[in-house]
Chain A
Amino acid sequence: MELLNQVTQFVISGLATGSIYALIGLSFAIIFNSTGIINFAQGEFVMLGGVLTIFSLNVLHLPLIAAILVAVAVTTVIGLVFERLAIRPLKNATPLMLIIITIGASILIRGLVMLLWGKDTQALPAFSGTDPISVAGATLLPQHLWIFGVTVLVIIGCRLFFNHTISGKAMRACSFNRRAANLVGISVGRMVLFSFVISAAVGALAGVIIAPLTMTAYDVGVMLGLKGFCAAIMGGMGSGLGTVLGGLILGTLESLGAGLISSGYKDAIAFFILLLILFIRPQGLFKKGETERV
């Protein structure tokens, strides 16, 4: 019974952490889907969401809702400017070059935030209190419910957008075949811009809702970004639901590993899984292998 209770707690903690990874993983997938770029500055969008909310709340004295909106809006603008200044001007860049540019951008953003707001860790107050909720002998916080809720909303939103709107369909078309998309009159450049805007917004939103739990500082983006990237890889970088499942599985395995094997190997477990998947199923856990036509 004792062990069962423990395992329940491990799983619930894992799912809670996993949905954070899932949300960040989704924002990775959005850019990858329309551009083929892995945006390593994604973690910085998450960090900006949290840091900007705290800034609007404490320095500008805005109410929480307004602070969140300001943070998401500003981050979205930063995503837009980033695409315009760093990605767009390179006409014939290979994806590898673009990926390296995103790494450079992430270092720049991190440095600027450190200079502007210092190195201190900050915490956001929880949205609806900190009284733990009991579930089958395990506990979680109201903030976890917010994270679950927002993740579900973002998945539904993405589904609707990518499958049922012209812009969404156009973005998917770009990811399948840029040239063909261009030929049927889709402005590929605009779609790439769109993907950066959406992904910055989703990243910032993730940063805002996790800040009360994980706290935030200029350097939180790196690890969160990497874990989100793992989730996206597990989900095959594409299908919305696959990435979410990837995140949840990653979080749960980490938590079970820390609890049942050894907490010293928690991150090692996550990255071991990542490597294993890259070796065995590079197309992701849930995707059927694509046949390359020659």
Chain B
Amino acid sequence: MRKMFAVIGITMLLLCSASAALAAAPIKIGGLFAVTGPASFLGEPEKNTLELLVKEANAKGGINGSKIELFIYDTGGDATKAVQLANKLIKNDKVVAIIGPSTTGESMAVIPVAEKEQIPLISCAAGIKITDPVKKWVFKTPANDHVAAEKILIQAEKLKQKNIALITVSDSFGSSGREQLKQMAAKRGFKIVADEVYSPKDTDMTPQLTKIKAAKPDAIICWGTNPGPAIITRNIQQLGMKTQVYQSHGVASKKYIELATAQAAEGIMLPAGKLAVFDLLKPSDPQAKLLKDYNTDYKKSYGVEASTFGGYAYDGFQLVAAAIKKGAATPAQIRDGIEKNGRMVGVSGIFKMTPTDHNGLDLGAFEMVRIVKGDWVIVK
């Protein structure tokens, strides 16, 4: 009996290697996403997107005739686990590139591994420290927070608003935004008249806003993710404040308007990734078609609208695929290929990687929008 199993086993092995030898060797790509846990709102669409893209590419016969084999692991948002899984991807699965992790903390933890093992890592996290200073093997696809901050300040400059008040959430997203805003505001000659924070689970921000109201700012900049900014928007209405409010790209979804109510959110401006407003873009916009197709495909497969976060994995895969298309096969060739890729239209913006910029996005990644009657209107 045991002998028979051995024979079957050997035959299977032979068959496998024979079929593998017939087609070109598959390209192995790894994905590390926080599919569960507190950052699952990032990891889930990222995983879905990557699976969708690989399925599509394989259905078309792969890239340059090679099928893609995908290895995706769930980090649960845990940096220690992310490092273990990155090692597993590199040593056991022998991937040529890794897309992910989802959060800045995990990315920072995995970077030393990627650098040591010399495997290109395309992070899906927004933190500026991931690619600043530039690391040889590390790239990232989301735009830096400071790009969104700069976009807001440029708009405030246009409207001649000099005195600004900040209200930011006390988590990593908020404190990074607060730092960037303060730095850039000082450089551009703004005066910060109030600098308030709130914690992610706070249910009433009228005390902070009362203080801001007394400071008489020309504009209020709020930096957080739902539900905080929605509560703040309602509180501002309650206090009868008429000051211009700017929100961050963290709430660039219809959910924010729904939670804040259209009435309270009227007139608020925010920098939004283009995916949030793709149906408002001019047809001549280079991203318009790509965004529309991505949204349609995603909706068809998963039944929900595509999110900006999934777009990070989309762009990561396109960067790797573009390099492979130009003949790259080894990790080193893929790394060089991504760096020399030139202009590439993606979901998060138009990428232009260079040896000194491993993010490759500029102010064009965001569109300034205003909320009018519960819908987005692009600010000219």
A278 interfacial contact with B, CB 8 Å: no
- List A contacts of B214 (CB < 8 A): 2, 6
A214 touches B199 (CB 8 A): no
Residue from the list B201, B237, B259 in contact with A220, Cβ < 8 A: B201
A139 touches B238 (CB 8 A): yes
Of residues 7 through 42 on chain A, the ones whose CB sits less than 8 Å from some CB of chain B are 9-10, 13-14, 16-17, 20
- List A contacts of B203 (CB < 8 A): 17, 20, 210, 213-215, 220, 224
Q: Determine the distance from Cα of A115 to Cα of B207 in the docked complex, in whole angstroms.
A: 35
Which listed segment binds B: A90-98, A237-245, A257-265, A285-293? A257-265
Distance to closest chain A CB from B17 (angstroms): 42
Given A123-B258, A140-B238, A264-B170, A13 and B196 touching (CB < 8 A)?
no
Residue from the list A14, A130, A259 in contact with B211, Cβ < 8 A: A259
Given A13-B204, A123-B258, A264-B197, A141 and B231 touching (CB < 8 A)?
no
B40 touches A119 (CB 8 A): yes
B206 interfacial contact with A, CB 8 Å: yes
B261 interfacial contact with A, CB 8 Å: yes
Distance to closest chain A CB from B60 (angstroms): 34
A215 touches B207 (CB 8 A): no
B340 interfacial contact with A, CB 8 Å: no
Distance to closest chain B CB from A28 (angstroms): 18
Chain B residue nearest to A7 (CB atoms) is: B210
Residue from the list A14, A20, A215, A264 in contact with B231, Cβ < 8 A: A215
Residue from the list A6, A217, A223 in contact with B227, Cβ < 8 A: A217
- List B contacts of A10 (CB < 8 A): 207, 210
Of residues 180 through 239 on chain A, the ones whose CB sits less than 8 Å from some CB of chain B are 210, 213-215, 217, 219-220, 222-224
- List B contacts of A222 (CB < 8 A): 201
B285 interfacial contact with A, CB 8 Å: no
Scoring A residues 147 to 175 as 1 if CB is less than 8 Å from chain B, else 0, what string do you get? 00000000000000000000000000000
- List B contacts of A140 (CB < 8 A): 238
B293 interfacial contact with A, CB 8 Å: no
Residue from the list A130, A220, A255, A267 in contact with B199, Cβ < 8 A: A267
- List B contacts of A119 (CB < 8 A): 40-41
Scoring A residues 246 to 259 as 1 if CB is less than 8 Å from chain B, else 0, what string do you get? 00000000111011
Of residues 215 through 274 on chain B, the ones whose CB sits less than 8 Å from some CB of chain A are 226-227, 230-231, 234, 237-240, 255, 258-259, 261, 263-264
B333 interfacial contact with A, CB 8 Å: no
Scoring A residues 115 to 127 as 1 if CB is less than 8 Å from chain B, else 0, what string do you get? 0000111110000
- List A contacts of B210 (CB < 8 A): 6, 9-10, 13, 259
Distance to closest chain A CB from B376 (angstroms): 19
B118 interfacial contact with A, CB 8 Å: no
Distance to closest chain B CB from A67 (angstroms): 18
A104 interfacial contact with B, CB 8 Å: no
Distance to closest chain B CB from A145 (angstroms): 13
B196 touches A214 (CB 8 A): no
- List B contacts of A121 (CB < 8 A): 226-227, 230, 255, 259
A266 touches B259 (CB 8 A): no
A223 touches B201 (CB 8 A): yes
A130 touches B263 (CB 8 A): yes
A213 touches B204 (CB 8 A): yes
Q: Determine the distance from Cα of A130 to Cα of B258 in the docked complex, in whole angstroms.
A: 15
Distance to closest chain A CB from B234 (angstroms): 7
- List A contacts of B278 (CB < 8 A): none
Scoring B residues 25 to 41 as 1 if CB is less than 8 Å from chain A, else 0, what string do you get? 00000000000000011
B208 interfacial contact with A, CB 8 Å: yes
B237 touches A132 (CB 8 A): yes
Chain A residue nearest to B255 (CB atoms) is: A120
Q: Determine the distance from Cα of A130 to Cα of B237 in the docked complex, in whole angstroms.
A: 9
Q: Determine the distance from Cα of A264 to Cα of B237 in the docked complex, in whole angstroms.
A: 23
Q: Determine the distance from Cα of A141 to Cα of B239 in the docked complex, in whole angstroms.
A: 9
A215 touches B259 (CB 8 A): yes
Q: Determine the distance from Cα of A122 to Cα of B256 in the docked complex, in whole angstroms.
A: 10
- List A contacts of B263 (CB < 8 A): 130
- List B contacts of A6 (CB < 8 A): 210-211, 214
A9 touches B239 (CB 8 A): yes
Q: Determine the distance from Cα of A274 to Cα of B224 in the docked complex, in whole angstroms.
A: 28
A263 touches B207 (CB 8 A): yes
Given A6-B211, A130-B261, A214 and B204 touching (CB < 8 A)?
yes
B226 touches A255 (CB 8 A): no
Chain A residue nearest to B226 (CB atoms) is: A121
Distance to closest chain B CB from A132 (angstroms): 5
- Which has the most chain B C-beta neighbours within 10 Å: A119, A220, A258? A258
- List B contacts of A20 (CB < 8 A): 203
- List A contacts of B231 (CB < 8 A): 214-215
- List A contacts of B211 (CB < 8 A): 6, 259, 263
Chain A residue nearest to B225 (CB atoms) is: A121
- List A contacts of B238 (CB < 8 A): 130, 132, 139-141
Interface contacts beyond A215-B231, A219-B201: sample of 10 additional A-B pairs, CB < 8 Å, sorted by A: A10-B210, A13-B206, A16-B204, A119-B40, A123-B227, A130-B234, A130-B238, A217-B227, A264-B197, A266-B198
Give B contacts to A, CB under 8 Å. Answer: 40-41, 170, 196-199, 201-204, 206-208, 210-211, 214, 226-227, 230-231, 234, 237-240, 255, 258-259, 261, 263-264
Listed by A's residue number, 25 A-B pairs whose Cβ atoms lie within 8 Å are A2-B214, A6-B210, A9-B206, A13-B204, A16-B204, A17-B204, A20-B203, A119-B41, A121-B226, A121-B259, A130-B234, A130-B238, A130-B263, A132-B238, A132-B239, A139-B239, A213-B203, A215-B259, A219-B201, A255-B207, A263-B197, A263-B198, A266-B199, A266-B202, A267-B199
